[in-house]
Amino acid sequence: MKQKLINGRVLTPVGLQDGLAVVIENDRIIAVGPADETPAGDTVDLQGRILTPGFIDTQVNGGGGVLFNDDTSVEGVAAIGAAHRRFGTTGFLPTLISDDLEVIDRAIDAVEAAIAARVPGVLGIHIEGPFLNERRKGIHDASKFRVLEDEFIERLTRLKGGRTLITLAPETTTPDRISRLAAKGALVAIGHTDADYATARAAFEAGATGVTHLFNAMSQLQNRAPGVVGAVLENQTAWAGIIVDGFHVDPATLKIALRCRPHDRFMLVTDAMPSVGADADHFFLHGRRITVKDGVCRDDAGVLAGSDLDMAAAVRNAVERLDLDLASAVGMASASPAAFLGQANQRGAIAPGYLADLALLNDDFSVAQTWINGASS
Q: Where in the chain is the domain with CATH 3.20.20.140?
A: 54-340
Mean predicted confidence (pLDDT) in 66-88: 98
Q: Which of 141, 245, 271, 310 is catalytic?
A: 271
3-state secondary structure of 154: helix
DSSP string, 270-333: --B-TTTTS--SEEEETTEEEEEETTEEE-TT--B-SB---HHHHHHHHHHHH---HHHHHHHH
Mean predicted confidence (pLDDT) in 340-356: 97
Mean predicted confidence (pLDDT) in 20-47: 96
Q: With a cut of 90, say whether residue 322 has pLDDT above it.
A: yes
Mean predicted confidence (pLDDT) in 291-306: 96
pLDDT band of residue 14 (cuts 50, 70, 90) is confident
CATH number 3.90.1150.10 is the correct assignment for the domain at 54-340: no
Supply the pLDDT for residue 139: 96
Supply the pLDDT for residue 15: 83
Q: With a cut of 90, say whether residue 187 has pLDDT above it.
A: yes
In angstroms, rounded to a whole number, what is the distance separating the alpha carbons of residues 313 and 147? 36
Supply the pLDDT for residue 13: 81
Supply the pLDDT for residue 181: 98
Supply the pLDDT for residue 280: 87
Is residue 170 within 8 Å of 218, Cβ to Cβ?
no
In angstroms, rounded to a whole number, what is the distance separating the alpha carbons of residues 167 and 323? 29
User: 117 φ, ψ to 5°?
Assistant: -85, 0
Q: Where in the chain is the domain with CATH 2.30.40.10?
A: 2-52+352-376
Supply the pLDDT for residue 258: 98
pLDDT digits (tens, 9 = 90+) for 139-169: 999 999 999 989 999 999 999 999 999 999 9
pLDDT digits (tens, 9 = 90+) for 216-246: 999 999 999 999 999 999 999 999 999 999 9
User: 84 φ, ψ to 5°?
Assistant: -80, -25
Which burial class, exposed, middle or buried, applies to 293 when counting CB atoms under 10 A from its CB (0-12, 13-18, 19+)? Answer: exposed
CA-atom Rg of the chain in angstroms: 20
Mean predicted confidence (pLDDT) in 95-116: 98
271 is catalytic: yes
Mean predicted confidence (pLDDT) in 172-196: 97
pLDDT digits (tens, 9 = 90+) for 256-265: 999 999 999 9
In angstroms, rounded to a whole number, what is the distance separating the alpha carbons of residues 108 and 55? 23
What pTM was computed for the model? 0.97
Protein fold of 2-52+352-376: Urease, subunit C; domain 1 (2.30.40)
The CB density around residue 337, as the number of other CB atoms within 10 Å, is 30
**What one-character DSSP code corresponds to residue 339?**
H
Supply the pLDDT for residue 170: 98
